[in-house]
Structure formats: C-alpha cells, structure tokens
Structure 1
C-alpha cells in the first residue's frame, strides 16, 4: 500500500511545472510524510536480527534524493552513506549510482557557496574524503574535486580565486599540490594558468622575505 501511495505522490510531483514548486512540495509535503517511515526502517535495520534482511526500499531512496534537492546536505549525506552501506538501489528516476549522485550534488552546492563567499564546510571535505579514499569514480570527477579543493585555498572572502591575495606560502604550495593532482588525473583539468599565478606569488613572497631579512 505504501508503494502504491508513493507512486501517486511521484505522479503529483511530476505534474508540478516550476522547480521552486517541486522543491517546496518535497520540503513541506513529501519529506514530512515519508521520512518518519524511513527512520523506522533504518531503526529496524539496526536490529541485530534484521541486519541480513535488508530489502530494497524505494521510499528510502527517494527521500535521500529529495533531501539533496532541498539542500539539506547534513541529512542527505548521512542517509546517502547509509544507503551505500545497506546496498540500497538508487531511485529509478536517477541514472547514477549513489556515490556519483552524492559527489555531484555536493559539488554543485559547493560551487554556488564558494562563488558567493560562503563556507563549503563541513560537507565538501566530508565528501572529498570519500571521493579520494573510498569511491571509484571517473577520473574527471575526482580531478574536479582536487581542483576545487585547491581553488578553495585561493579564494578571497567574496569568493574570487586570487593567488595574489594569499600571503601564506604553505597555503599556496598546498593549493598547487591539489591542482597538480587534478592535472595528473585529467588532462583537461585546466589548472595551468592558476598554477603559474601561484608560482609567481610564491616567488614574490620569497623575494619579499629575503629583502626583509637583508634589512
């Protein structure tokens, strides 16, 4: 009966035209309705006797997707990682697997936050660690994470990437190492220009330090 009801909810959701209306409906109607059921399901899977009896749960999958759609990254990442642990299939409307979906969703969110001078933590680092240590994603996906992590060290408070504004040589070298890794993973990472700027900035700071010591 729940799956029939879910199908009806998905049809109603599909009938909404505007993205803002879809997001509001997921936040205000669908998640309050279905998330408690997901939490009950997860509580049951934590039971020692139920751990080997995990069944496919499309309600769980759609709730995770909706959490990312409404930018509830804290709960979205938590439940997304749980979905991977439980080997839950992705919602049928999504053609990617969980790791790819989560990495793309968090990356898109982080880009918007960074460009507007907002913090990307803790969510970016949380997923970045998974991308580089646990998940076997296409090289260009891993490369864009390394690149973004490097650029994040060069951003000003208003979100612009400006190596000339960074006064810490260690920070510049750390950024360059991340960008170098991105380039090694994907030849079209497009990091050469910013790496040249980093090199010039490091030389300028080293020259300034030498002048200071000579005075």
Structure 2
C-alpha cells in the first residue's frame, strides 16, 4: 500500500510539472531526470535483489512508463529526443521478466538510437543478447518454451547485429541444441526422428564451431551423425 501511494504521489508530481511548467519539453525532462536520480539512489538502498525487482515492478515502472509512452508519442510526431528514462524502464522490464514488452522497447531503442542506461556498460544489442540468452537457458533446462523471444533475438544476432564471435557462436549452438531437447529439457539426438530437424541442428552447431573454435559441439555433432546413419539404415530395410 505504501509503495502504491508513493507511486501515485510521484506520478501526480510529474504530471503537475508537465502542466504548470513553461510548456517546453526540455525543462520538464530536466526535472524528471532529477526525480529519476533520487529514485535510483533509493533503489540502491535495497540489499536483496528480490526487493529491488519488486520495487521496480510495483513502484518505478507504474510511475515512469506513462512518461516513456509520452516520449515515444513525441518521437512519432517528429520530435526526436534522447530520454534516459526510456532506457531505464526498458532495462527494468527485463529485470521483472516482462520480456515481451522489454524486447518491444529495446528494439525501438535501437531503431531510434536511444542511449543506454548509465548503469549498463554494454550497448543495446549486447545487453539484449546476454539477457535473453540467460533467460532462455533457464527456460530450456526446465523444459519450458524459449519462444518467441529467443527466436526474435537469434534472428537479429545471426543477421543484423555485429556482436563478438563468441556471443554469436553461443546463440548458434543454443539454437542447435534446442532442436535436440526432449520435453524434460535433456539434449537427446537419439530421440529425434525428423531428419530435417537433425540436419538443421547440425548446421547450427557447425556454424557455432566455425565462429568460435572453443564452441564444444563435436560430441553432439557426432551423436547427430550416428542418429542420421541409424535412420538411413532403418529406411533402407
């Protein structure tokens, strides 16, 4: 309840700034950034990660997302503007595991050349790739779906973003292994009966090895080859 009241209070203060200010966007943004700095200091005061995530979800995002939505509306109206608040909200969406909206905002940030949050040293593509990869690993190990988010990012990693070869390689490797996973999350080429699926997985793994010599895909590729030979022999009977 206290967090809800704090969020409403802050939102009303910011709305008041936009109505009673000079009518120009810049002074309002200046005051908003001062408020944001105060919020970031309070956020650092939480010792536990779970409490930080809860605060982002229940207080910070409800408070700042309306400001970000107005920022995006201004850009659509032909008023380009860099807004650090947009970057922080995007990062927070990933933190609270709202990958759908997080990716929507992050792709927009790249498209509009928006600055990354000061607390993040990586650029947008690297941040997105690392964050979604970590999430996909957790999902896959549980036997849960990694789509559509992994596929969206993999497409960009493979075709558009110029990331370090090691990062691109781990995406190709993971994409290949994902085609070989059983329902419980285990990697098991011997249970895959689709030849095209096996060949696609092997192609991804081969690309990973081409990009990074320490991709460690040889053993799995050998198992795929064994499975393909077994299927061929079975079909030949």
Please report the TM-score for the alignment, with normalisation by the length of structure 2. Answer: 0.86
Cα offset, 1:209, TM superposition: 1.2
Which of these residues, 31, 39, 46, is aligned with residue 9 of structure 1? 39
Question: Does residue 1:137 correspond to 2:167, yes or no?
Answer: no
Partner residue of 1:183? 209
The answer as to whether partners of 2:93 and 2:99 remain within 8 angstroms in 1 is yes
Partner residue of 2:64? 34
CA distance in 1, matches of 2:81, 2:74: 11
Which of these residues, 38, 43, 68, is aligned with residue 94 of structure 2? 68
The answer as to whether partners of 2:75 and 2:81 remain within 8 angstroms in 1 is no
Residues 48-88 of structure 1 deviation map (CA, whole Å, 9 limit, x = unaligned): x32xxx22211001000000111111100010011111111
Partner residue of 2:146? 120
Question: Does residue 1:104 correspond to 2:130, yes or no?
Answer: yes
Cα offset, 1:137, TM superposition: 0.4
Question: Does residue 1:204 correspond to 2:230, yes or no?
Answer: yes
CA distance in 1, matches of 2:131, 2:199: 28
Unaligned 5+ runs, structure 1: none
Unaligned 5+ runs, structure 2: 1-30
RMSD in angstroms over aligned alpha carbons?
Answer: 0.7
Cα offset, 1:122, TM superposition: 0.5
Aligned residue pairs: how many?
A: 207
Cα offset, 1:205, TM superposition: 1.0
CA distance in 1, matches of 2:202, 2:152: 21
Partner residue of 2:191? 165
CA distance in 2, matches of 1:61, 1:170: 41
